[in-house]
A and B are shown apart, each in its own frame.
Chain A
Amino acid sequence: MDLSVINPILLLAALMSAATPILLAATGELVVERAGVLNLGVEGMMIVGAIAGFIVAVNTGSPAMGFIGAAAGGAILSLLFVFLTQVALANQVASGLGLTLFGLGLSALMGQSYVGVKPPRMGDLDLGPLSDIPVLGPILFSHDAMVYIGLLMVACVWATLKYTRAGLVLRAVGENHDAAHALGYKVKRIRALAILFGGACAGMGGAYISLIRVPQWTEGMTAGVGWIALALVVFASWKPWRVLLGAYLFGGITQLQLNLQGAGVAIPVEYLAMSPYIVTIIVLVTLSADKSRAPGSLGRIFHASH
């Protein structure tokens, strides 16, 4: 075992990158849940985004196009969820599970001829002299664009929810859909838009794994990140900045266990690989006391009666 192999600066830098898929997916899901919808299909939308983005990136040669394709892929899959839960009024838990099972199969089917293919690389963003700052430079200012887009997304979601009328309406719909309906807001339309946004975010999160983190395509490669993102929204008490904090926490654990595996620690690889999941459970347990912040209509079916 040689812990000196682990360079704290590189670890922190890698943490930002490791956190990005979870951050993107969780931010999207946060918006969905604030609108009062529980979409358990995050894992499915991520994996479809991962392969959709991969296919587009490989065929266009542009990682940026890949992320757009991933967003579209995730959103299209989430459209199924919109249909099931907003039109056919199906149970959200079952529909979300269905979305994940279907997405896993669909992505495997789509990815058949892409196994072993190398995607085009996305270069780091050129931030000029900023990235030359010692310590902070490599940690904060030498990443690809998606890392910053993820951060920007959190900021935008936070500001939109807090300061804009659209955000207020979204929160109102999630809090009490009957009241929102009585005031004349289109509950289903607003929820559908939120679900599509969540799908797009999850898709981009998935593509970040297939295009940047790994980067290649393997079946089931999201390996539960979508579920961790769901847990993160609860952990964050439905607050955007706490999602960021949580994503970095999980990113840190993922990265640390990878580094420990690399350093050849005496703990067997399997037990290190379990750690993100076990930490998720521990975090859920310690934080599940505070569920009072959950949107009032979360997971409930809305049907306008007379």
Chain B
Amino acid sequence: MTALLDLSGVTKAYPGVVANDSVSLTIQSGEVHALLGENGAGKSTLVKMIYGLVKPDAGQMSLNGASFAPADPRAARAAGIGMVFQHFSLFDALTVAENIALGMENAPPMRQLAAQIKAVSETYGLPLAPHRLVGDLSAGERQRVEIIRCLLQEPKLLIMDEPTSVLTPQEVEILFKTLRKLSAEGTAILYISHKLEEIRSLCDAATILRLGKVVGHCIPRDTSAAEMAELMVGSALKPPQKVAAPVGDVLLELRDLSLPPASAFGMPLRQISVSVRAGEVLGIGGVAGNGQDELLSALSGEVTVPAGTVFFKGDDLARSHPNARRAAGLLTAPEERLGHAAAPDMSLTENAMLTGATRQGLERNGILNWKAARSFANQIIADFDVRTPGPGNAARSLSGGNLQKFVIGREILQRPEVLVVNQPTWGVDASAAAAIRQALLDLAEGGAAVVVISQDLDELMEISDNFAALNEGRLSAVRPAAGLTVAEIGQMMGGAHGMEVAHV
């Protein structure tokens, strides 16, 4: 039997980096095949070539035995390839039906399409209202739009890029049921992830990429997570060391914090009350888009909130601006590195100045001391092992992991009493992620209160003392992290969000 998709010797190079180096891969019909690798291992480039977004420099691809070289995504779709993106493929201001029509070659008239959407969504247990605006949907619902868009094309191969990063554990279970049903019907699935347990429970085969090369194949059910992790990372990683620190006084307290949404499709914050003590790491979980960015900007001072809602060591900082909060000792690091935490085209020295001016004494009466800023940048680079030729380089020239180390290091070196970080290890390679987590734990051990907002539950469970979850702008009750079950966490995150189980 010929394989559905066969890749051999596929190579793609970009200036300065070989994204895929002679990659070979075979997928059979009905197989769920995992593509496993760290950030930057070349997974995205590989699937973009299969989907026609990028052309390989060398190598062959064949589909059902015939040579396959899609000129663009339309050609790939016509050949039976569907792709569910992690980001960037939906249009907020358009309806569900319009979004789906845009991903189809021969979209039927809207009315007919709406009926088809209803039918498919019921078959696969993915309820969707065709006429709602996509901007009003939750992350899980948005993913359903993408999945249904693919399913309507009756694909032979469905590519899924990190599909579970936007789902609660309950939603993941439902998604897996849908995928198993598809696989039973003969659809092959190429499943990209770095979450090993998921792959073990779902996938029939796995290909592991490291630095653009295939470093191994395995049958996930028969391979331990530790073995796969070692193949993926190249060496065994040591988990962060957590020392139970004595918990001190309350440093940060939110009382009934509410905030209206910033934009038409924004999320409001609803009556958030929580307190964090010295030495404590509070993990805040939740699916993307449930108020994480809004909570961070309310704490950083980018938006000012009603008086009497944010207290730092008993002082009301709710009306204070970012630098007043920094002066007090409340520091933050937002999720988006490029453009929010750092200015992409500015040098690391300038980016050190951006938040360090107040606490590091880099300015006096408005006059900036660039020499001091430069040595502060150098200190961050040295202490946090930031790989860069020097502080004069632009922030965007750094890799994700290195820039994240710089951003987190910049705040930690300012000796915060409270540090709030959002997605500290998003899109960061494993060794940088481990270093960042360790630095956060060390900070808490030194007597600071640390709030980690993250969508990575494994990370939160690893480093948090206490755990809460954001759902629809509300914060759940805080519970000790130790002993929480996955089911309990999922319920705190909003459970299945009313999603049905597939009619298998």
User: Do A and B share a direct contact in the complex (Cβ within 8 angstroms)?
Assistant: yes
B41 to chain A, nearest CB (A): 14
Interface residues of B in 174-219 (CB under 8 A from A): none
Among candidates A169, A178, A292, A296, residue contacting B102 with C-beta atoms closer than 8 Å: A169
How far, in whole Å, are A292 and B103 apart by their CA atoms in the complex? 25
Interface residues on A, range: 10 to 19
Q: Which residue of A lies closest to B70 (CB)?
A: A184
Instruction: From known contacts A165-B107, A292-B264, infer whether A183 and B102 are also in contact, taking CB-CB under 8 Å.
Output: yes
Interface residues of B in 81-100 (CB under 8 A from A): 85, 88-94, 98
A261 contacts the other chain (Cβ, under 8 Å)?
Answer: no
Among candidates B19, B74, B92, residue contacting A175 with C-beta atoms closer than 8 Å: B92
Q: Which residue of B lies closest to A184 (CB)?
A: B73
A22 contacts the other chain (Cβ, under 8 Å)?
Answer: no
Q: Let me know if A184 and B264 touch, CB within 8 A.
A: no
Q: Let me know if A176 and B90 touch, CB within 8 A.
A: yes
Q: Which residue of B lies closest to A163 (CB)?
A: B110
Instruction: From known contacts A168-B98, A168-B101, A292-B263, infer whether A178 and B88 are also in contact, taking CB-CB under 8 Å.
Output: yes
B479 to chain A, nearest CB (A): 38
- Residues on A with C-beta less than 8 A from B107 are 165
- Residues on A with C-beta less than 8 A from B89 are 179, 182-183
Main secondary structure of the interface of B (DSSP, over half): loop
Q: Which residue of B lies closest to A177 (CB)?
A: B88
B496 contacts the other chain (Cβ, under 8 Å)?
Answer: no
A239 contacts the other chain (Cβ, under 8 Å)?
Answer: no
A185 to chain B, nearest CB (A): 8
Most chain B CB atoms below 10 A, which of A183, A184, A292, A296 = A183
Q: Let me know if A184 and B98 touch, CB within 8 A.
A: no
Interface residues of B in 241-267 (CB under 8 A from A): 263-264
B295 to chain A, nearest CB (A): 22
Q: Let me know if A306 and B19 touch, CB within 8 A.
A: yes
Instruction: From known contacts A165-B107, A169-B102, infer whether A175 and B94 are also in contact, taking CB-CB under 8 Å.
Output: yes
Q: Let me know if A172 and B94 touch, CB within 8 A.
A: yes
A171 contacts the other chain (Cβ, under 8 Å)?
Answer: yes
How far, in whole Å, are A180 and B103 apart by their CA atoms in the complex? 9
- Residues on B with C-beta less than 8 A from A182 are 53, 73, 85, 88-89
A179 to chain B, nearest CB (A): 5
- Residues on A with C-beta less than 8 A from B19 are 306
How far, in whole Å, are A175 and B89 apart by their CA atoms in the complex? 11
Q: Let me know if B14 and A179 touch, CB within 8 A.
A: no
- Residues on B with C-beta less than 8 A from A169 are 102
B11 contacts the other chain (Cβ, under 8 Å)?
Answer: no
B45 contacts the other chain (Cβ, under 8 Å)?
Answer: yes
- Residues on A with C-beta less than 8 A from B52 are 184
Q: Which residue of B lies closest to A179 (CB)?
A: B89
Q: Let me know if B263 and A168 touch, CB within 8 A.
A: no
- Residues on A with C-beta less than 8 A from B91 are 171-172, 175-176, 179-180, 296
B210 to chain A, nearest CB (A): 19
Q: Which residue of A lies closest to B149 (CB)?
A: A183
How far, in whole Å, are A178 and B93 apart by their CA atoms in the complex? 14
How far, in whole Å, are A292 and B90 apart by their CA atoms in the complex? 17
How far, in whole Å, are A205 and B237 apart by their CA atoms in the complex? 68
Q: Let me know if A183 and B103 touch, CB within 8 A.
A: yes
Q: Which residue of B lies closest to A186 (CB)?
A: B72
B432 contacts the other chain (Cβ, under 8 Å)?
Answer: no
How far, in whole Å, are A256 and B74 apart by their CA atoms in the complex? 54
B54 contacts the other chain (Cβ, under 8 Å)?
Answer: yes
Q: Let me know if B45 and A306 touch, CB within 8 A.
A: yes
Q: Let me know if B101 and A176 touch, CB within 8 A.
A: no
Q: Which residue of B lies closest to A175 (CB)?
A: B91
Most chain A CB atoms below 10 A, which of B88, B101, B103 = B88
A145-185 vs B, Cβ < 8 Å mask (1 yes, 0 no): 00000000000000000000100110110011011101111
B50-76 vs A, Cβ < 8 Å mask (1 yes, 0 no): 001110000000000000000011101
Most chain A CB atoms below 10 A, which of B77, B101, B102, B264 = B102
A182 to chain B, nearest CB (A): 5
A184 to chain B, nearest CB (A): 3
A104-140 vs B, Cβ < 8 Å mask (1 yes, 0 no): 0000000000000000000000000000000000000
- Residues on B with C-beta less than 8 A from A296 are 91-93
How far, in whole Å, are A306 and B102 apart by their CA atoms in the complex? 22
Shortest beta-carbon contacts, A-B, top 3: A184-B73, A292-B264, A178-B88
Interchain residue pairs with CB less than 8 A apart (29): A165-B107, A168-B101, A171-B93, A171-B94, A172-B91, A172-B98, A175-B91, A175-B92, A175-B94, A176-B88, A176-B90, A176-B91, A176-B92, A178-B88, A179-B90, A180-B91, A182-B73, A182-B85, A182-B89, A183-B73, A183-B89, A184-B53, A184-B73, A184-B74, A184-B76, A184-B77, A292-B263, A293-B93, A306-B19
